[in-house]
């Protein structure tokens, strides 16, 4: 996975149970995906838990690199 890339991994079990996990989504932003998943899957969330990404701080490496590449006059 590319740094900063956001993904939703959806797994459907043989019994029809659907599991979805966000990856690369840090902090409370992951909560925004619950409503999207419910609509896309025509389902409702029964249980949810935070992943390790919840506690990670967002990275701004790409923005810093862009600022360094600017030629200053």
Residue whose pair of structure tokens reads 């740094």 in the numeric block: 3
Q: Is 24 left (phi over 0), alpha (psi -120 to 50) or beta?
A: left
pLDDT bucket at 3, cuts 50 / 70 / 90:
low
| pLDDT level of residue 43 (50, 70, 90 thresholds) | confident
State the chain's mean pLDDT as an integer: 76
For the question of whether the overall pTM of this predicted structure is more than 0.85, the answer is: no
Ordered by start, the domain boundaries in the chain are: 7-68
The two tokens of residue 58 are 């967002």
């Amino acid at each position: 996975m590319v740094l900063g890339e956001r993904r939703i991994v959806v797994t459907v079990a043989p019994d029809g149970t659907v599991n979805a996990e966000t990856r690369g989504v840090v902090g409370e932003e992951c909560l925004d995906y619950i409503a999207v998943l419910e609509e896309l899957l025509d389902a409702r969330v029964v249980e949810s838990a935070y992943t390790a990404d919840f506690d990670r701080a967002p990275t701004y490496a790409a923005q810093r690199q862009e600022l360094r590449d600017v030629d200053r006059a």
